[in-house]
Amino acid sequence: MKRWRMMVVIIALAAALIMFVSALLSDLTWWSRPLGSMSMVRTPHRAWRLALVQDAGIQVNIAVLLAGLVTQFMAGVLVLYLVPRRVHHMAHAIAIGWRQLLRYLVVGILLAIVLAVVGLLSILALHTMPLLIILAMFFFLASLGGVVALTYQLGRGLLSQAGWSEGSPLTSLALGTSIIYAITRIPFFGWVVLVLLWLTGAGVAVATRLGSGKPWSLLPLMEDW
Amino acid sequence: MADWLDELLEAMPTEPYPPDLAVQVQIRLAKTRRWSKWVQNGVRLVMVMTGALGLWLLMPRVEMLVTAISPISLARIEEWLSAMVRSPSQALLGLSGIAITWVSQLAAGLEAELVLALGLLATPALYGVISLLSSGISQEEAII
């Protein structure tokens, strides 16, 4: 247990370090670049070699970093308070194991394909045209719920291994958010992780029927009237 | 509750069951299971082939689809926001016009082969989602 406690502290410190380094080396102000260049390689910050605190760019970067972290955490808090039972179901489903998590990722990928195709084909008929936006929003909300559950379960898993599971669920969420947010700040790798996370999140949300824990079934339609 | 049970008991044959009944039931069950596994494997093979065909048809047309969509730039968003401040109703009208133009550009990019490819790709994906979602529950509760 002592080893796990040390590990949790090291992971939290490493997350903080990754975030800090990303603020020094990357340009986080995405709005200052044209949208077309979003996927291009991020150039190192122009003044990262200079004195850190004096450079206004780095200060902005750190402010953006903190704002992003707080926003992500607050969004998670909102989801936890709005649908605690559903998050619990999703977190429980994630905790089963890696194979199950991989299954959710596959569900998420296949679901993204199905929704993208249905959304694209829906624009061919005038009356189904809004489906493109509705399905995109559904996917976004399902992914958000799933990612919050993943984040919460990550923090909870680590804290329970360290024997600190008696604390508030918000502590688990804060730890999970810090780790995930730090990983997604790593250039290139972060984007891959982010996409995988959102796909897995969507998969978890759909597989647990948006956290209701009930199976997907047509049985009610087969029951007697 | 007891009524239909009584009826069933009365409908049962009075003569003793054949000695090899259990074996016959097991053979029949094994045969049914074998057959359903064959069907399942066949469907999976068809789905994989459909998905591969869909991908093969889709790949050369992805670039065409992407170029058919006009990119949304920050300048356009800024322009729309300033129009929103000036006159919200005009801005909303303009937005609906932009949305319809964007969708019609996208629809124009969807050729017959592309629609076919998307359909071929979506079918195995949907089958995969349904299989994965219904694999953890009983047959009676299954989605299909």
Q: Sign of torsion, CA A142 A197 A209 A127?
A: positive
Residue A218 counted as domain residue: no
pLDDT at B139: 42
pLDDT number for residue A151: 94
Long-range contacts of A88-91 (CB under 8 A, 24+ apart): A88/A211, A89/A208, A89/A211, A89/A212, A89/A213, A90/A145, A90/A146, A90/A149, A90/A153, A90/A204, A90/A205, A90/A208, A90/A211, A91/A149, A91/A152, A91/A153, A91/A156
The answer to whether residue A179 sits within a structural domain is yes
pLDDT tens digits for chain A (225 residues)? 788 888 889 999 999 898 888 877 766 665 555 544 444 444 544 444 444 555 666 777 788 888 989 999 999 999 999 999 999 999 998 988 888 899 999 999 999 999 999 988 888 887 888 888 899 999 999 999 999 999 999 999 999 888 887 788 999 999 999 999 999 988 888 889 999 999 999 999 999 988 887 888 788 888 766
Instruction: Note the residue count of chain B.
Output: 144
Does A219 fall in a domain? Answer: no
> Is A126 inside any structural domain?
yes
pLDDT at site B82: 81
Instruction: Quote the CA–CA distance of A24 and B82 in Å, as a whole number.
Output: 34
Confirm whether A224 is domain-assigned.
Answer: no
What is the domain extent for residue A40? 2-213
Among the partner residues A110, A120, A121, nearest to B129 by beta-carbon distance: A110
User: Could you tell me the two tokens for A166?
Assistant: 């008696």
DSSP assignment of B116-133 = HHHHHHHHHHHHHHHHHH
Tell me what pLDDT residue A109 has: 95
Residue A222 lies in a domain: no
What residues in chain A have their Cβ under 8 A from chain B's Cβ atoms?
Answer: 31, 34-36, 103, 106-107, 110-111, 113-114, 117-118, 120-121, 123-124, 129, 132, 206-207, 215-219
Would the CB atoms of B132 and A113 count as touching at under 8 Å?
no
pLDDT, position B143: 46
Q: Which residue of B has its CA nearest to A218?
A: B143
Residue A221 belongs to some domain of the structure: no
pTM: 0.76
Q: How many structural domains does chain A have?
A: 1
**Contacts for B122 with CB less than 8 Å, ≥ 6 apart:** A113, A114, A117, A118, B54
pLDDT digit string, tens, across residues B80-92: 788 888 888 888 8
ipTM of the complex: 0.72
For residue A162, is it within any domain? yes
Exposure string over A99-123, b if 16+ CB within 10 A, otherwise e: eebebbbebbbbbbbbbbbbbbbbb
pLDDT band at B72 (very low <50, low <70, confident <90, very high): low
Contacts of B73 in chain A (CB under 8 A): 34-36
Distance, CA of A165 to chain centre? 22
